[in-house]
Amino acid sequence: MAKTALVTGAGRGIGAGIVEKLASEKWNVAVCDLKSVEEGNAQCAELARKYGVEARYYRADISSASDRENLVKSVAADFGALDALVNNAGVAPKVRADILEMTEESFDFVVGVNLKGTFFLSQAVGRYFAERKAGGVIVNIGSCSATVASISRGEYCMSKAGVAMITKLFAVRMAECGVNVYEIRPGVISTPMTSVVKAKYDKLIAEGLTLQPRWGYPEDIAKAVAMLVRGDLGYSTGQVINVGGGMDIARL
Ligand code: NAD
57 a catalytic residue: no
Q: In tens digits, what is the pLDDT along the chain, a chain of 252 residues?
A: 899 999 999 999 999 999 999 999 999 999 999 999 999 999 999 999 999 999 999 999 999 999 999 999 999 999 999 999 999 999 999 999 999 999 999 999 999 999 999 999 999 999 999 999 999 999 999 999 999 999 999 999 999 999 999 999 999 999 999 999 999 999 999 999 999 999 999 999 999 999 999 999 999 999 999 999 999 999 999 999 999 999 999 999
Does residue 173 lie within any of the structural domains? yes
Q: Beta partners for 4?
A: 28
Does residue 121 lie within any of the structural domains? yes
Contact 150, 106 (CB under 8 A): no
Does residue 252 lie within any of the structural domains? no
Does residue 248 lie within any of the structural domains? no
Does residue 55 lie within any of the structural domains? yes
Q: Which of 44, 71, 159, 191 to mutate to test the pocket of ligand 1 (most atoms within 8 A of CB)?
A: 191
Note down the domain range covering 231.
4-240
Does residue 103 lie within any of the structural domains? yes
User: How many domains in the chain?
Assistant: 1
Q: What is the CATH number of the domain that holds 74?
A: 3.40.50.720
Q: What's the 252 CA to ligand 1 centre distance in angstroms? A: 32
57, 156, 201, 235: which one is catalytic? 156
Atom of ligand 1 nearest to the CA of 144: 43
Does residue 196 lie within any of the structural domains? yes
Q: Provide the 3-class DSSP secondary structure of residue 127.
A: helix
Atom of ligand 1 nearest to the CA of 14: 26
Give residue 225's identity as a one-letter amino acid code: V
Q: What's the 176 CA to ligand 1 centre distance in angstroms? A: 31
DSSP symbols for 91-121? ---SS---TTT--HHHHHHHHIIIIIIHHHH
Query: What are the C-alpha distances in Å from 11 to residues 113, 146, 192?
Result: 16, 24, 11
